[in-house]
Amino acid sequence: MWSGFDPQMRRELQNVRQMVGLTHQAPTREWPLFFEAEHDALLIVREWPDGSVTAYLTSDIPGSSQHGGKYSG
């Protein structure tokens, strides 16, 4: 008898719900931490009003090699 979702799947769905909820908020702090020149990407860490922390890579960087310069952060 099937009693519901796998516990791992439930955790993953909860993470998705949390991330969707954050899209409607503004971060309280944001830090550009590391520029990876090989991939022309910047690692950004954000702190949210609820105290959670997220990180992402972006290649949309003003002043990066794509835009005629190098990030100096």
User: Token digits for 36?
Assistant: 């990876």
pLDDT in tens, 1-21: 566 778 899 999 998 998 888
Q: Which helix (H) or strand (E) holds 35?
A: strand 29-36
Per-residue pLDDT for 64 more than 60? no
Residues shown for the chain: 73
Task: Give the predicted TM-score (pTM) of the model.
Answer: 0.58
CB-CB contact of 4 with 28 (8 Å) = no
